Structure 1
Amino acid sequence: MSNDCGTSRIAGCQFTLHPMTDKFVDVILGALEEVDTTNVWKDTDDVSTCIRGKMVHIFDVTKAIFLHAAKTGEHVAMSGTFSIGCPGDSSGDVYMDVTDEVLNEVKSKDISQKAGCKFALYPMGREDYMDKIYEQIDLSKARGVDVSASHYATRLDGEVNDIFHTLEESFDKVQEKVSHVTMTFTISANSPSTKK
C-alpha cells in the first residue's frame, strides 16, 4: 500500500448503527441482508463498520443500511464520519474500478422515512473553511429538508432520502475545491423523544 498524500479520491465512511431495541441483532442483520455492498470494501468489528471506495457508492450503501434498519419502525440511530483525500490514506482496500451505477437506489428510493440529522463539515487545511461551510448550509435550505442551527453542527429534518442527498451534495461540492474533507453525522429515526 502507498500513501497518496491527499490526492487520492478514495472516499470512506466509518459508522456505527444503533437500533434501540431488544431485536437489535435482527434489525442490523436484516438491513445488511437488504443492502448490496458489492461496490465497496467493507470491514466490521465490535465497534463500527468501515466502507471504502467511490464516493457515490459510499453514500449509497450508508443511506441504504440506515433506511432498511429504520423502516422496521424501531428507534434507530447511526453516527459516522465520511472522509475523502486524507493524506494518511492508503490505496489498498478499495473498489475504485467499478462503474458509478448505484446498486441500492431502486430498493431505497421509495422508502418513506422521516428522520433528524446533525452534520458538520470539515474542509481541512483551508483558511476560508467557514465560507465553505456556510455555502453548504445555505444550499441545504434549497434541498428539500428543514435546516436549523445547532451548536457545532447543522440540523436537517425530513425524509431520509432527502437528508442523505443533502449530505452527499454538500460533501461533493466541498471536495471539488478542497483536497481533504471530513464530515461527521448523526441521524435518528423513529425516536420516541420529541424534537427540541
Structure 2
Amino acid sequence: MDSLQCGTSPIVGFRFSLHPMTGDFIKVIKRALNDTDTSNVWMHTDDVSTVIRGKQVHVFNVAKALALQTAKTGEHVALSGTFSIGCPGDSSGDVYLEKDDVLVNTDNTQQYVSSQFALYPMNNPDYMAVIYREVERAKHQGVFNDSMHYASGIHGDIHEVFDFYEEAFTNARSDKHRHLVMTISMSINSPSHGGA
C-alpha cells in the first residue's frame, strides 16, 4: 500500500478491555476469543488491553462478537474501549484492508446491554452539532437511554446497539474532518438491569 498522508488511512482501530466479574475471568475471556472469528482483523493483546484493527465493518463485527460471546457465559461483564479512525501514522495492519466485506461472525443471539458512549470529532469546530445529531439519531432508533455528564446512555439488544455505534462512527466524520475517536463503556448481565 502506498504511503498515506496523515489522517487519511481508512483503517479503524478498537482498543478495549473486557472485565468478567468472576474469579474465573481468564477462562471466560479465552473462551470468548476462541469462539470469535478474528481472521479479518489484526489483533494484539498485552497485559492491560487488546487492540483490533482493520476495515470498519470487520472491527465492529469482531467487537460485537467478543462482547456477545463473553455475555453468553451468563457472567456479569464490563467492556470499555476506544474506536479510532484517521489517526496520524496509523498504518500497521493495513493488509487487512484488502479483506472483502463478508461478515464472519453472524450469531444473532439476543442480549440486553446497557452502555454509554462519547464522540470526539477531532479538529472539527462544529463538534457539538455532530454529537447532538447522533444523540437525536439514537432517540429516533429507540436505543437512547439517558443524558449524562461526558457521555450519553445507549441501551437495548446488543445488535441494535452496535448497529447504532457503527452508524454514529460513520456519520460523525467527513472528508474534511477524518480523525474521529469514539469511546464506549458497556455493562452486560448486570444484576442492576432488573431483567431488562
Same fold (TM over 0.5): yes
Contact (CA 8 Å) 1:82, 1:182: kept in 2 or not? yes
Q: Superposed, which structure 2 residues align to 1:17-36 within 5 Å?
A: 17-36=18-37
Distance 1:24 1:71 in 2: 14
Supply the AA of the counterpart residue of 2:93. D
Secondary structure at the counterpart of residue 97 of structure 2: coil
CA offsets per residue over residues 32-68 of structure 1, 9 Å max, x none?
A: 1111011100000110001110011110000100011
Residues 1:62 and 2:67 aligned together:
no
Q: Which residue of 2 aligns with 1:13?
A: 14
Supply the AA of the counterpart residue of 1:49. T
CA offsets per residue over residues 115-166 of structure 1, 9 Å max, x none?
A: 1100000000011000001000001112241331011000011111111111
Alignment counterpart, residue 126 of structure 2, candidates 120, 125, 128: 128
Give the C-alpha shift of residue 190 in structure 1.
Answer: 1.0
Q: Which residue of 2 aligns with 1:4?
A: 5
Cα root mean square deviation, aligned: 1.6
| Gap runs ≥5 in structure 2 | none
TM-score (norm 2): 0.92
TM-score (norm 1): 0.92
| Gap runs ≥5 in structure 1 | none
Contact (CA 8 Å) 1:84, 1:175: kept in 2 or not? no
Secondary structure at the counterpart of residue 193 of structure 1: helix
Residues 1:92 and 2:92 aligned together:
yes
Secondary structure at the counterpart of residue 96 of structure 1: helix
Q: Which residue of 2 aligns with 1:160?
A: 158
Query: Quick one: percent identity of the two aligned structures?
Result: 50
Q: Superposed, which structure 2 residues align to 1:113-192 within 5 Å?
A: 113-177=111-175, 178-192=177-191
Distance 2:173 2:102 in 1: 20
Q: Which residue of 2 aligns with 1:76?
A: 77
How many residues in Structure 1 have an aligned counterpart in Structure 2? 191
